[in-house]
Structure 1
Amino acid sequence: MNQKWLKLRTPWICGIFAILILLTGCWSRREIEDLGITIGAAVDIGEETKLEQEIEQQGGDYSKKNVLTLTYQMVQPGQSGGVAGKGGGGGGKQYRNISVTGDSLYEVTREIALTKDRPIFGQHYKVIVISDKVARAFNMRMFFDFFIREQEFRPSCLVFICTGEARSALDQKDKSEFPSLRLRSITNNQYRSSRILPPVSLTKLLPEINSSSSFLLQNVITAEGEVKFAGAAVIYGKTGKLIGFLNEEDLESINWMTAKVKGGVLKSYDSHTGQPILYEITSMKSKIRPHIEGNRISFDVEIESDGRLGEQWENGNGFDNRFIRRVEEETVKQVRKRIDKMLHRIQKEYRADVIGLDQYVRIYYPRTWEKIKKDWDDKFANASIRYRVKVKIKEFGTTSIKVH
């Protein structure tokens, strides 16, 4: 009887012991109030803060060179509930920026543990902002080695270039918001503007760096406590350094060529009246086909966009098909004008394929690609790029009346 009872109850007993083991708690848990939750970082050319200078005068120095200044944005105690949204309660400042100077990013990060009771906790990193001066001076391959190796940096963390002081992008007038979250949120506005670069995360950045490819990073400018996305920074593949900038219209033209546009408007002028016309993008697609004949490389690009007449300053009938055709023609002229300007800049001035045409050569001509990939930027600079733009206005804003 006892053996039969034990046999029947054995699975239950094992199950109870398994549950007890799982309910013993998290042995490595850390209270959220004890964490220095960090949501952003900025890197500038080394310049010690006044606080650092005073600490060194008191004997709190160590062997280092003032090469880089790393600024961390930390959530203020009691405000961590706002990290997922705008900010915490109350009208005070929701964050604190801490700057440390040295010649090793890893070392200066650990230096914070000597001054703060809540060391850096980076599982919530949202953005990394790099000064244009730093990007010009350091190879991105070596520079991002720290951010890629550091386990606390999230692969989804977005990377930006800032014209001027990078730490200024992590501060703002409105103290109820987190600047790091604001930068990340602005990238979501692609459906409203075609002058925003698709977000570049550490995950996307790593293949570009390892393959020595040229690429773009979103440029940020600051003024009076506000920020604006203003064009893109050109990172040259062979050196891994910043070599210049594309303005907002150049970036918009690249987005048109690659169809990485979710929305936005494009302004042109009526050749008959000189009045502005606004074309609003509703959809876009492009087809890119490479051609290699001997040493000659060329590309054919077909761009097609559907949209609506967003705004007109013409007194005539905006529903007239002849007027609509004229608006389409003026829009195409404006797009072509901007694309021509952009291509001249990246092919002749920068000699850097920041469009990503190398991927099409690699796919269509894999054997040839293996031979030319080391000198691709030079090959790209001499390539012929032919393109066709087709624009179709299909509606008139909120009226939703289709053009026949």
Structure 2
Amino acid sequence: MWSCRSLVTRLCCDRKWLLSRAPPSRPQFRIGYSLRHFSAFYHLDGGSTLGDGENGCVDGKDGKKDEFVGISSSLFGGVSSGWKVSRDGRIQNSRGVLAGSGGKGHLSKKSGYYGVNINAWKVTRDVHQLVALTFLEKQKEEKEKAFPGQKVEVDHIDGNRQNNSVDNLQWLTRQEHVRKTAASQPHPRPLISSALRLYASNIATGEAQTFPSINSCRAFLDNYSGDKLKVAKLRGSPEGVKIKNWRITIDTEKFRELEGEHFKPLYRVHDEEGRIFLSFLGLAGKLDTIPYIEVSNRGRVRFRNGRISVGIKKVGYLYARGYRVHRLVAEAFHAEQKQLVLIAGAKKSTLQVDHKDGNPLNNNVENLQWVPPDVHATLTWTRIKGRQKISSKNTKPNESS
């Protein structure tokens, strides 16, 4: 039972609680959000509520850089998504909120491009692609018409992947894009020692192309994945292999031996304790029948495909297939000297290879010798002290002056 006082208090102070049990209505912005989505899906008012052009693009349309235009509907099955893009490369989602940092999207550390995830449509795109598809769709159509059957890509004119302004973008074919990227690098990236230069000649036009590696040539040929680009196939075809109207030949420079150079094979040896190490012929243990690697008296290694290399520099030494090159050379060419050091009482597990001139990159056979650890330390210290004395003499002031 309600008392009169309680009833009056409820009526005066909490009037809505007594008169209506219905939950409060949704805020106005939620209603607007729903109407905007409804109009986007069902094309209310002639489908122009989002500012799309007649065919979903505004190619050639003049507008302010900060003006947002609906992203081309071709990405969403001909339906307007509510997402917008500006000519300066910013993205706005269907709620009018800028996507990512300042509307630029989210920067990928792997690719270096800005991108966005449109989760409602399960679409992930780079921002430069969205800008080009929206503002440069006619240019794309003209490029595809001029080069039928070829893939077209979006290129950053100034080479800056983060500059997604429409003025900095253009459509190019895959081959045009590869050529421009290679030609625009003022300082080409240093190639790893395994990179093999390839030459391509167009059979129809005679156009010549040079590629610093097999991978770059494969990309030029629309990611060709056949066996013809394998090293063995290229080496076995002096006149070149034919791929997609191009004749491809390999540079034989990295297969040539130097004057006076000769190679010896090293095999993997499996001893009784199950350990595996590399050794020259004549040692006990189970020996592989195929050489694991070959080393030369000039401090170079030759792999199974015939490629010759000095190795890859790591922590001050040259390595090949996980082994230090100077130890491989000493193993192949100084086996007798190694045995003499062992007979003198040195332990095999602690033997070290000394560079006589102190240069760890000079792996010529004349510059190497097997030594015990204590001898190696003494030789290294003597060389360091000798260099310090020479340096002090050169820097000593002239007393006569």
Q: TM-score range by the shorter chain?
A: under 0.3
- Structure with max Cα Rg: 2
Report 1 or 2 for greater relative contact order, CA contacts < 8 Å, sequence distance ≥ 6.
1
Q: Which has the higher strand share?
A: 1
- When normalised by structure 2's length, the TM-score is 0.25
